[in-house]
Amino acid sequence: MFLEYNAHPKGIKTTDCVVRAISIAMNKEYMECRRELNQLKRDWKFTSYKDTEFLYKFFEGKPRLIFKAIKGEPRIKGSSFTSLYTRGTYVLKMTGHVTVCKDGVILDTWDCTYRSVYTAWKID
C-alpha cells in the first residue's frame, strides 16, 4: 500500500529520500533532521548521508531485517513488505532508494512499492 506524502516543508520534490524517510519515521521536523544528518556525516567523515555504510551506522542498535537474494526466487518488493509488516514503523533500503513504511503504508513522494527491499530497520 502506498500514500503520496512529501515531508519537505516547501513541498519540493527533490533527491532527498533519506531525509524524508528518517524525518517521517522518527517524527522529526524535516530541516532539523537534515541538519542532524549533515552534522553526523561530517563527524563520522562520510561524503554523503546517502551512503549505505552511513545508514548502517546511523541505525546501529535498531532491529534490522535483511532480505537476502535467494537463487531462483525474486526479492521481496515494497508491496509485499507492506502486506507482511502491517504494524510499526520501518525505514526501508531499497534498490537505489530509501523510504518509510508506517503500519503497512509506504509514505513517499512517488510509488516505489515495485522496488526490491534489501534492508529494513524497525524504528518503533
* Residue pLDDT, tens place only, 21-36: 999 999 999 999 999 9
Q: Contact at 8 Å (CB) between 13 and 6?
A: yes
Give the global pTM: 0.93
Provide the CA 124 distance to its chain's centre, in angstroms: 14
Every domain of the chain and the residues it spans? 2-122
Q: Which residue has 531525509 as its cell numbers? A: 19
Asked whether residue 1 carries a pLDDT value surpassing 90, the answer given is yes
